[in-house]
């Protein structure tokens, strides 16, 4: 089944030849952008201990932010009741990937009765540049689960693809079909049933390891199905997205696959998303290069042995000295004057401990992916 019309879309492909990382912005941080303008954020308590006070809208090129990174992922199921949302958070000139909400449906966090294909498509077209159909993931099935069987997930996902195919109306948006399944047999069956609805690319879900199938195997099986069917060589297929890639090995796999596809003259852009950079804030997680001993006794930095430092209010922050600095040299962490005061618990007039009401904004170092590329190629 061919597309009903030709879609002319904004160029979203990166200037380099590697994968594109799309950071997931969680609801707590987005609430800040919903409620406050840049000036209010600069003067707000969360930046009190910073030397410079800049915009946190790093996705908006026109903002005076700490740095600029144009991509962001928004979840349609979390914000579909909010109108003009993209404008509301200041992302009109950014590159917005909308997650349609299939994961949330599978986890039972979003109601199947009230959140429909129509709501997902309508909101996605108004607020996004690229987005998948509202698939129903097949990795969390069972009698006590929102979806009972693989077949139920498949049939509802095919129904969603049909709805998106027949009702898409914004020619500036790129729509992705979705490939699910935990085994290559399931993936092939899924593809055969949903392939009739042709879109602008594919998204791969179900990257949850199961017995006998690790993350790499699931990724490779997905690539195999799309290659053996010639799907990735179709001229209208421009994007291949992987949901929820946050580990170093996953990033390396995708960068390697991107390079190999390029070597085969398959012009497709791989993208992947992660919320780790944002959710890690809650636990004070820092990912830093871990120096290891070289053969000559000297220290060298090996990015494949990355160290994760966990800092919490209950221990390390309380024991910080007044001159302590965070183990991160990004433009934001490096600008913090006194981490001890910023993170620690405070006391009220009665001497009772109360948690300081702040929300930090940290970022995985964006040059880290470049280090991976330089290591491999």
Query: How much is the pTM?
Result: 0.82
Give which of 248, 245, 254 is closest to 305, Cα–Cα.
248
What SS3 class is residue 168? coil
Q: Which residue has the higher pLDDT, 7 or 40?
A: 40
Over residues 156-210, the pLDDT tens digits come to: 999 999 999 999 999 999 999 999 998 899 999 999 999 999 999 999 987 766 6
What pLDDT was estimated at residue 286?
Answer: 64
71-109 CB burial, b ≥16 within 10 A, e <16: bbbbbbbbbbeeeebbebbbbeebbbbbbbbbbbbbeee
Q: Where are the alpha helices (DSSP H) in the chain?
A: 27-35, 38-42, 76-79, 85-88, 102-106, 117-127, 150-167, 184-194, 215-228, 248-263, 276-283, 339-343, 367-376
Q: What is the mean pLDDT of the chain?
A: 81
Would the pLDDT of 25 be above 80?
Answer: yes
Of the ranges 31-40, 46-55, 141-150, 208-217, the best mean pLDDT one: 141-150
Strand 269-274 with 20-23, pairing: parallel
- Tell me the CATH architecture of domain 20-35+70-279: Alpha-Beta Barrel (3.20)
Q: What does the domain layout of the chain look like in residue ranges? A: 20-35+70-279, 284-364
């Amino acid at each position: 089944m061919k597309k009903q019309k030709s879609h002319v879309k904004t160029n979203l492909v990166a200037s380099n030849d590697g994968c594109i990382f799309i950071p997931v912005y969680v609801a707590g941080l987005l609430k800040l952008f919903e409620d406050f303008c840049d000036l209010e954020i600069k003067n707000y308590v969360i930046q009190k201990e910073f030397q410079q006070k800049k915009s946190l809208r790093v996705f908006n090129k026109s903002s005076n932010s700490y740095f600029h990174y144009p991509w962001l992922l928004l979840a349609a199921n979390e914000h579909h009741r909010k109108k003009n949302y993209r404008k509301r958070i200041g992302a009109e000139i950014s590159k917005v990937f909308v997650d349609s909400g299939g994961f949330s449906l599978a986890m039972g966090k979003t109601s199947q009765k009230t959140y429909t294909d129509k709501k997902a498509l309508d909101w996605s077209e108004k607020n996004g540049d690229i987005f998948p159909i509202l698939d129903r993931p097949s990795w969390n099935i069972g009698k006590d689960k929102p979806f009972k069987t693989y077949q139920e997930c498949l049939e509802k996902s095919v129904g969603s693809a049909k709805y998106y195919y027949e009702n898409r109306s914004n020619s500036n948006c790129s729509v992705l079909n979705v490939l699910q399944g935990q085994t290559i047999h399931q993936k092939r069956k899924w593809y055969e049933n949903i392939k009739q609805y042709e879109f602008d690319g594919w998204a791969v879900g179900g990257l949850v390891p199961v017995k006998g199938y690790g993350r790499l195997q699931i990724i490779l099986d997905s690539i195999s199905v799309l290659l053996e069917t010639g799907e990735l060589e179709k001229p209208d297929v421009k994007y291949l997205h992987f949901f929820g890639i946050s580990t170093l090995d996953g990033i390396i796999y995708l960068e390697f696959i991107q390079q190999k596809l390029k070597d085969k003259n398959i012009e497709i852009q791989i993208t992947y998303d992660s919320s780790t950079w944002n959710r890690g804030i809650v636990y004070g997680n820092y990912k830093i290069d871990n120096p290891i001993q070289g053969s000559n006794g000297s220290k060298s930095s090996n990015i494949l042995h990355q160290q994760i430092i966990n800092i919490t209010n209950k221990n390390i922050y309380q024991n910080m000295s007044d001159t302590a600095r965070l183990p991160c040299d990004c433009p934001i962490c490096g600008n913090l004057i006194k981490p001890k005061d910023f993170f620690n618990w405070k006391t009220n007039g009665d001497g009772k401990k109360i948690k300081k009401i702040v929300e930090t904004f940290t970022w995985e170092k964006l040059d880290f992916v470049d280090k991976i590329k330089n290591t491999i190629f």
